[in-house]
Amino acid sequence: MSDKTEKKEKKELPMENKPIKTRKEKVIYMGVPIVERDNVGSIIFHIDYGRIYSNGLPKEVIERCKADSDFKKMFVPISEAGAVLRQMSQSESAFSQTRKELSKKYRKVRRG
């Protein structure tokens, strides 16, 4: 892979290396919907595509971001959401590939 291609792929994942605890800018979750349930069927974690966070991320989301780098990459500054939407339509883009991996990872969880 050439240096230009590597740089382009890094640029396609806007939140990859940014701290997740305290952000001033609003962020939007661009990943797949995730619903996790406990043994009795109660929802213990839930997030949907398009969810906007304006005052930082909740504790449970921060913990998941620390544990799952693909999940963390799905949080995008509002100002970059349009560019990410265009990338999502390109199946070969780094963002689209990461989103597919996230979908595989949480497929069973989402169905409850």
Distance of CA 69 to the CA centre of its chain: 9
The alpha carbons of the chain give a radius of gyration, in whole angstroms, of: 14
Q: What is the pLDDT of residue 22?
A: 47
Residue 4: per-residue pLDDT: 52
Q: Supply the pLDDT for residue 10.
A: 47
| Tens-place pLDDT, residues 55-104 | 889 999 999 999 999 999 999 999 999 999 998 888 889 999 999 999 99
Structure tokens at 71: 């999940």
What integer pLDDT is reported at residue 13 of this predicted model?
Answer: 52
Q: For residue 5, what are its two tokens?
A: 């291609």
DSSP for 7-25 reads HHHHHT-TTTTS-SS--SS
Please name the residues in contact with 86: beta carbons below 8 A apart, sequence gap of 6 or more. Answer: none
